[in-house]
Structure 1
């Protein structure tokens, strides 16, 4: 698959990634958990030139969301865009290969088999 698509909950914000992701990962840090209201954050990271976003969105600290339905949809970091796996319509083949901030992982969340584990960031 060379194209990945997705939307927010109400469909007002849409995105298309025209290439394979640079990487796919999970973050367990408290900031990501609070932002998403979930036990962890999963994203496919793409070069920003590979992603087209349509619709009106709002952002805070690089994290974009739909102002209509409140869905968190993507994040920007430098020249990369992180598309949330939960917002992808056809991302079932995207399997995380690493986990970040495992030192903050909730105790009942198990590590992904074969995923590289980082106590903090990847650096």
Structure 2
């Protein structure tokens, strides 16, 4: 008899700097990318943000978060973690426990604001502003 091959679903964990908030994402994200917009730059304190989106059924969390501008953060240490929206979660990839995490950008948005010293990500769709609805 042949043996059934069971594919293991990827499970990634993450959380805030102080450990008060933890989360888990299962499977692969349906989109991942870099954003160079003014809001993301201010929010992250860097030249761009790196995020990935999972469906609501793939995301779970523990701990208490606060919300500012629709994005969730730890009220103890202030770490920005994710953006919970109807049907899913957009996770800031820098909050995952493992690095590298194996998730590469599929698109870049607000490239009109990308720093001149930062080249486009090869193979990622490029959008001057927000892309059409995904």
Select 1:112's aligned residue among 121, 127, 131.
121
Q: How many residue pairs get matched?
A: 123
Normalising to structure 2: TM-score of the pair? 0.86
Residue correspondence of structure 1 range 29-48 to structure 2 within 5 A: 29-48=37-56
Structure 2 Cα separation of the partners of residues 27 and 79 of structure 1: 21
Q: What is the SS of the residue equivalent to 1:56?
A: coil
Q: Does 1:25 align with 2:33?
A: yes
Off by >4 Å, runs of 4+ in structure 1:
none
Which whole-Å CA distance do the structure 2 matches of 1:62 and 1:19 have between them?
Answer: 24
CA drift at 1:20: 1.3
Deviations 1:76-118 (A, max 9, x none): 2332211111001135211111101101112222211111101
From 53, 61, 65, give the equivalent of 2:61. 53
CA RMSD between the two structures: 1.3
Work out the CA distance in 1 between the residues paired with 2:61 and 2:103: 20
Is the contact between residue 59 and residue 88 of structure 2 (CA under 8 Å) also seen in structure 1? Answer: no
- Taking the aligned partners of 1:40 and 1:94, their CA distance within structure 2 comes to 16
Larger Rg: 2
Q: Which runs of 5 or more residues in structure 1 are unaligned?
A: none
Query: TM-score, normalised on structure 1?
Result: 0.93
Q: CA deviation at 1:19?
A: 2.1
